[in-house]
Amino acid sequence: GIKRVGYKPFQAKICSAEEAALHIQHNDLVGMSGFTGSGYPKDIPQALAQNAQRLHTEGRPFSIRLVTGASTGPELDGSLAQAQAVSFRSPYNSEKAMRALINAGQVAYVDGHLSRTGDSVDAAIWGEMDVAVIEVSAITEDGALIPSSSVGNNQTWLDNAKTVLLEVNSWQSADFLGFHDIYRHEGQGAFQPIPLTEVNGRVGKNTFWVDPQKVKGVVLTHTPDRNADFSAPDDAAEKIAGYLLDFYSHEVKKGRLPPSLFPLQSGVGNIANAVLAGLKKGPFRNLQGFTEVIQDGMLELLDEGVMEKVSATAFSLSPAQAAAFNTHAQRYQGRVILRPQAISNHAELIRRFHIIAMNGLLEADIYGNVNSTHVMGSAIQNGIGGSGDFARNALLSVFMTPSIAKGGKISTIVPAVPHVDHIAQDVHVVVTEQGLADLRGLSPVQRAQKIIAICAHPLYRPMLEEYFQHAQKQSFSFHKPVLLPQAFSWHQRFIETGSMLVSS
């Protein structure tokens, strides 16, 4: 195997996680690595949580302000939430204990576009960054840092932080050199284009760079990434995948998409994974991916030769796929490139590559406004993540969901969404297991008719038809008919009775 810490001055900095964590002070702004459960530090955050608990039992305050790439894992968000050691969190969280604190009003959470978090830190919107805690797969003899399974905001944190702590993770592939393209557009000169013209092109360096003077601790670990299993595609997911493949074939026939489609962005979750599995059986070949996260489904498309190349900022693999990747990483050299999230999600590149974006949602209204984040308008689920970066700038923006949630007590198609992440203009196609509504070029009334007829579940379709008929008669005006007192009554009924259905 490779030498994980090749740089002599850093060998002298090797220490325990407990010693490293002592460099982090109360109220520090801490930038940690991590994106969709991969490439996050595992041991230092747990030692930090223990420090916090000890200080709390002594009656002393201790909490940090935490920014990452995106979601992490139980060792990071989970342990820090359990220790009540976080006062501020951005830009994305999907961990349950942290979510509970946010929804209890105990953690200030800023849910932001993933492409823009680095800009906020460069601009010191939250003050200067005190500490960066970054997982790497190895350190070369000349002190360059070989990234691990995610890139996220790491170079930005390394550039801004006054103190740097590194976790060198030997569980990560020893063959990661060459998978990353570390490029920061900042400092390239104002008004210059990003010179990337191919999905797997390279414009930056293979490694991160850090001022060695700032590195105060190097911790060795062998702890795996979060690596959750995907459930096998269920009936709804397979139907959604089927409608989408038919739609893409239709678009190819119409000449609006090339036979190998345009590069695909695919969101997180089981439905997204099912769509990728569906593509394996579909007619399309030589596909490309320009996305945020590489799930199992994309690696399988690469294995089967259906997909040629993919660009992302992170992996998010099942334990079996992660183990397979760690053994056979070299197979993917040159075909898989991981970039900073400011680049993987950059508006300029998403427009340039004519991306087809496919994301999940919590609910859509009859006009196609989408809520991806706030349950009943007030409880955060995860965050907007990269879905806004992609939906706004994609050539084709698809949102997909089962038409009901919670066993039918919730309709995911509603009269009005109580929180909007994606405005109707950024939502071109809505797909449920009931069908696919192509909304391009339609007026609000036409969109509503189509969404109700095609996407709504039969349990809720008559209720939506009735609402819309009344709205078309009693609305203040008729461009986008709405009944203001009733628009949120479905959500209020769920809050009061546990179901959006009217009990008879």
Q: What angle do CA 270, 282, 303 make, to 5 degrees?
A: 70
Q: Which is nearer to ligand 0RQ, 153 or 163 (CB)?
A: 153
By CB under 6 A, tell whether 405 contacts ligand 0RQ. Answer: yes
Q: Which is nearer to ligand 0RQ, 167 or 421 (CB)?
A: 421
DSSP state, residue 330: G
Q: State how far the Cα of 203 lies from the Cα of 366, in Å rounded to an integer.
A: 43
By beta-carbon distance, which residue lies closest to ligand 0RQ? Answer: 385
Edge-to-edge order in the sheet of strand 163-169: 108-109, 86-90, 64-67, 29-32, 131-136, 163-169, 215-221
User: Residues 355-378, buried b or exposed e (16+ Cβ, 10 A)?
Assistant: bbbbbbbbbbbbbbbbbbbbbbbe
CB of 163 to ligand 0RQ, least distance (A): 28
Given 217, 242, 340, 385, the residue binding ligand 0RQ (CB under 6 A)? 385
Q: Which two tokens stand for residue 168?
A: 């060198």
Residue numbers 29-48 binding ligand 0RQ by CB under 6 A: 36
Residues in the chain: 504
By CB under 6 A, tell whether 241 contacts ligand 0RQ. Answer: no
Cα 17 to chain centroid distance, Å, stands at 28
| Binding region for ligand 0RQ (CB under 6 A) out of 100-108, 299-307, 361-369, 424-432 | 361-369
| Binding region for ligand 0RQ (CB under 6 A) out of 199-207, 319-327, 348-356, 403-411 | 403-411
Which amino acid appears at position 141 of this protein? Answer: E
CB of 314 to ligand 0RQ, least distance (A): 8
31 is in an annotated binding site: no
Q: Which two tokens stand for residue 410?
A: 């919730």
8 is in an annotated binding site: no
CB of 69 to ligand 0RQ, least distance (A): 9
By CB under 6 A, tell whether 431 contacts ligand 0RQ. Answer: no
Q: Which two tokens stand for residue 251?
A: 């678009």
Residue numbers 52-71 binding ligand 0RQ by CB under 6 A: 70
| Binding region for ligand 0RQ (CB under 6 A) out of 42-50, 98-106, 139-147, 377-385 | 377-385
Given 45, 386, 415, 481, the residue binding ligand 0RQ (CB under 6 A)? 386
CB of 406 to ligand 0RQ, least distance (A): 5
CB of 363 to ligand 0RQ, least distance (A): 4
406 is in an annotated binding site: yes
Locate all alpha helices (DSSP H) within 123-234, ordered by sequence: 154-160
| Active-site hit among 95, 167, 292, 433 | 292
The position carrying tokens 């944190």 is 157
CB of 465 to ligand 0RQ, least distance (A): 20
By CB under 6 A, tell whether 403 contacts ligand 0RQ. Answer: no
Q: State how far the Cα of 420 lies from the Cα of 416, in Å rounded to an integer.
A: 9
Three-state DSSP class for residue 374? strand
By CB under 6 A, tell whether 360 contacts ligand 0RQ. Answer: yes
Given 44, 47, 298, 361, the residue binding ligand 0RQ (CB under 6 A)? 361
Rounded to 5 degrees, φ, ψ at 400 are -135, 145
Residue numbers 252-311 binding ligand 0RQ by CB under 6 A: 267-269, 271, 292-293
The position carrying tokens 């007619």 is 283
Q: Which is nearer to ligand 0RQ, 22 or 420 (CB)?
A: 420
Yes or no: say if 323 and 230 are a contact pair by the CB < 8 Å rule: no
In the chain, % helix, strand, coil (3-state, to 5) comes to: 35, 20, 45
Which amino acid appears at position 387 of this protein? Answer: S
Locate all alpha helices (DSSP H) within 254-309, ordered by sequence: 270-281, 296-303
CB of 361 to ligand 0RQ, least distance (A): 5
Annotation says 292 is catalytic = yes
Q: Which is nearer to ligand 0RQ, 102 or 268 (CB)?
A: 268
Q: How far is CA 65 from CA 27, 81, 124, 134, in A?
A: 6, 12, 13, 16
Return the active site residues.
292
Annotated binding site: 382, 386, 406
Residues found near ligand 0RQ in the complex (CB under 6 A): 36, 70, 267-269, 271, 292-293, 359-363, 372, 375, 381-382, 384-387, 405-406, 410, 412
Annotated binding site for CoA: 382, 386, 406
